Chain A
Amino acid sequence: MIADKAPDPKPTKPRRGPTTRRRVVQAITPWAFLALPLGLLILLTYLPAFNLIRYSFTDWDGIDPEQNWVGLANYRRMATDPTLYRVLLVSLFYLVGAVAQIAIALYFATILSFKVFAKNLFKGILFFPYLINGVAVGYVFLYLFRKDGTLDTTLAFFGLQDPPLWLGDPKLINASLAGTSVWRFTGMNFVLFLGAIQSIPGDLYEAAELDGANSWRRFWHIILPGVRRVVTLSFILAISGALAVFEIPYVMTGGGNGSKTFAIQAVEMAFVHRKVGLASAMALVLLGMVLAVTWIQRRFFPDERAELT
């Protein structure tokens, strides 16, 4: 603006000044609004993520001000030490659970999108567990699964004596924990599916009915294609969730008795063995696995537009 001042004759200045200023203000305004959220995003997400990457190349113990650069040693260890990736097998339980969870959610979403008695009550009941804090869920199920706990008493009421130790038996513990996870997250899938189903135009059902399609055919040819994208999304979330499962097993068992997952192992590595560098590398490898699985899934099941008309 100072540069403009000299050559310009006096009368033009009040005319050009405000417009330039307005254009500057207009250009800055969106960025000014964005600055705070972007600043926070950088500060709280990208900066720590960048640090995580940096730690993964060091032998930092989480306390020492000194961090020694060790190059790829942490990643080499990840690739060569079977004890570090054997825990991924535990994720298979959660993956099976997640598939069951999607099936259950789809089933109820379909039923409850039609005229049913006390529809909203059932919707509420199904969604409710998702609203409960994960730590609370963990403690509730701890009391459910313990010896002579709620589950055992209920089974005894129906005449089933001598139930197994739901968490104490190393063969059962992961199934019990995956069951807890299904109970908690079915509500979220259910709501997603319900929303998608309700966005399907109602005249399609009428037309199908006129054509004499039974309810199974209506589900297979109208509802399933209609919610296909949401189902695909749910599967991606399910796989990444199963790989990164942490909260429920950590709260309920702390990773004991064979329930250790990859994420729990990373936390243990960082805070018990004080190998923050290796733990950071584990976290990044986990991120890489989730990205890879998502990419593979998108390659094999491309996102086709659902054609309903």
Chain B
Amino acid sequence: MRIKMQAAAAIGALACLVLSGCGGGASDSPATSGGPSASGGGDVAAEAPAGELKVLTHRTDLDQDGTLQGYADQFMAKYPEVTKVEFESITAYDDDVPLRLSTGDFGDVLSIPNGVTNDQLAQFFEPIGSKADLSAKYRFLDSFAVGEQVYGLAQGGIATGVVYNKKVFADAGVTTAPTSYDDFLAALEAVKANTDAVPLYTNYKDGWPLGDLQRNMGVAKGNANAKNDMTGDDAPWAEGGDAYWLDSLLYDAVDRGLTEADPTTTNWEESKTLLGSGQVATLVLQSWAISQMQTAAVDAGASADDIGFLPVPSAVAGKSYAAVLGDRYYAVNAKSANKVTAKAWVEFMIEESGYDAKEGFVSTLKSAPLPSNLSALSDLGTELFEPTAAPAGEEGLFDAIDTAAEIGFSSAPYRQALVDKARQHTAKADAFGELNAKWAAGRAAAG
């Protein structure tokens, strides 16, 4: 009996070892990293950047080809006290990083992953400064700001629009750039009638280009406040509303057979070649895609000049608009032990690295000029605007309603379902009516 008890005790002890080994470690790390951070936070002004830095990035390509290490070398040359900049690039960034947020183990600097809502920012990230101070120098402060506190700085900005193949438009007999909604659909019809090209490619299978369509919210009517207005509207998809115009483009194009025959087998990498080689006429993407499409066009044996950029079709006669948005945002880990260096890295990347220019981004610095890839928009007289931030106290409201409504406004499945309905020629009013009902229920639950 006694021996059995001893054995049981031994098992217990061993089990404790196994379990506490891990459990202790997990609970331990935030505590230890919390200690130095508390003191580090106090001496921000006094310290110069030094020590080691860990950066989480979504740019696996730039990590592998050494571009990021190049920036790190420049950074260490500027601040000799910094001994090491380590990068961790993550392929499924928006899947993996949100899960790590609550553990505190996500480097010193990171790209803010999709899925973090604004009311959660303060839990995970260090405030970078006040909007009043930063706005003299930087653009795109609103997306990750809560009240006056700014938690994220944009890595660069992009403009909404449509990348298209100029040659296909010319072959189809479209001579003037179609900026209005009706002209754009007419151009797609012309492409369908006069050429073999797919007028508009949805990238349904990969999905994220459909999710990214949410960036066009409000662009059709040039309403910078569209997303905020939506939180006070029980029927945003009612005819003429901002959400109506946003999703109508996709719905009408699919409904009229202006998209690829089999959306379920589309392929993003292939879509670049298809556009470049003139087998696809248009892709609704943002300005970041221009350089990739030009490369694909050259690889396909065509010319980079074949690729053009149009504003998102406008619902206002004689006008066109483009939203300029921060692409990804840098943030500093609230539990970082080296916040001074982390902030210095963010400033360095935005102001000195040349990363934004290399990527064709609109610079986060207000003093920098617009990138050359947006000249087409200036030629067309397109008005650029930055979407307005949510009013104080309502930062998380849009996401809260969206979650309660189970729509997933920026997700792929939501617009894939729209494409499915449009392909079966469900009346647009019915499909949009269903969304209105869900949104109204979401508002009731979350508002």
Contacts and interface: CB of A to CB of B under 8 A. Distances in A.
A23 B99 CA distance: 48
Closest 10 CB pairs of A and B: A39-B18, A146-B265, A168-B262, A35-B14, A167-B264, A256-B416, A147-B262, A27-B7, A272-B411, A165-B262
B18 A40 contact: yes
Contacts of A146: 262, 265
B413 A31 contact: no
Interface in A246-279: 252-258, 268-269, 271-275
Contacts of B38: none
B11 interface: yes
A271 B95 contact: yes
Interface in B1-52: 3-4, 6-7, 10-11, 14-15, 17-19, 22
A42 B3 contact: no
A79 interface: no
Q: Give the interface size bracket for A toward B.
A: 35 or more
Nearest to B4: A27
B265 A274 contact: no
Nearest to A26: B3
Contact of B14 (A23, A39, A64, A272): A39
Q: Give the interface size bracket for B toward A.
A: 35 or more
B265 A145 contact: yes
Contacts of A271: 95, 115
B434 to A, nearest CB: 11
22 contacts: A27-B4, A28-B6, A28-B7, A32-B10, A39-B19, A42-B18, A42-B19, A43-B19, A62-B98, A63-B98, A63-B101, A64-B102, A64-B123, A146-B265, A168-B261, A170-B420, A254-B413, A256-B416, A256-B420, A257-B420, A268-B413, A275-B403
Interface in A133-148: 142, 145-147
Contact of A23 (B3, B408, B413): B3
A101 to B, nearest CB: 23
A273 B4 contact: no
B116 interface: yes
B424 interface: yes
Contacts of A142: 265
A32 B10 CA distance: 8
B74 interface: no
B413 A272 contact: yes
A284 B17 CA distance: 30
B103 to A, nearest CB: 10
B406 interface: yes
Contact of A255 (B18, B115, B403, B413): B413
A85 B417 CA distance: 17
Interface string B199-223: 0000011010000000000000000
Nearest to A278: B406
B135 interface: no
Given A39-B18, A147-B262, A256-B413, A31 B11 contact: yes
B261 A147 contact: yes
A39 B264 CA distance: 44
A309 to B, nearest CB: 44
Contacts of B412: 254
Interface in A88-104: none
B433 interface: no
B19 to A, nearest CB: 6
B205 A256 contact: yes
B120 interface: yes
A36 interface: yes
Contacts of B371: none
